[in-house]
Amino acid sequence: MKAVFEMQRAGEDIVHTYTETITPNGDKYDVTETWTNPGQSADNIHTGPRRAGAAGAVGARYDEEQTANIDLSPLQTLDERNVELASGQTYYLPDGAQLVTQDWDEIAGVKVLRAIFLHPSYPNQRVQLAFTDPDTAALLPFPILMIKEVDGEIDREMKLVQLDYTP
């Protein structure tokens, strides 16, 4: 299995790439992760494990001079309760957050359900997401699409650009 994600911050021309490759090795698997961060010094590279890495990709670090980052933790309720998402629905989550699902689409050859995440504590922010079936989601370290918007402008974007997988 090979998954490739591209990440970009607003106002930057630099595209960061994360690649995860999983190959069979006897009765085990070898996992290789590669980050490509053009123009970044080694002490300024930040990676994170699995879903925590997704938080880092949309800017989980707080800087007093910047806008606080939207809290995505209410989304965990969907996994905890094994909620099967459907298009055209509003899901009410802890802390007053909402997930509003839209239409089915395709990203990098994968069928996804697009959605918008809103949190009342961050009224000027929203996150566009794309969800896939649970089996495909289990293969990936991040959601297929995550676009954080601040005041209607894209702040950070992360998206799957390649998925090679044969069950």
Q: Provide the residue ranges of all domains of the chain, joining segments of one domain with +.
A: 2-63+70-164
The second-level CATH assignment, the architecture, of 2-63+70-164 is: Clam (2.50)
DSSP 68-101: PPP--GGGHHHHHTT----TT-EEE-GGG-EEEE
> What is the band of 67 on the pLDDT scale with cuts at 50, 70, 90?
low
High-pLDDT (> 70) share of the chain, %: 83
Contact status, residue 27 vs residue 20, Cβ threshold 8 Å: no
2-29: pLDDT as tens digits = 999 999 999 888 899 999 999 999 999 9
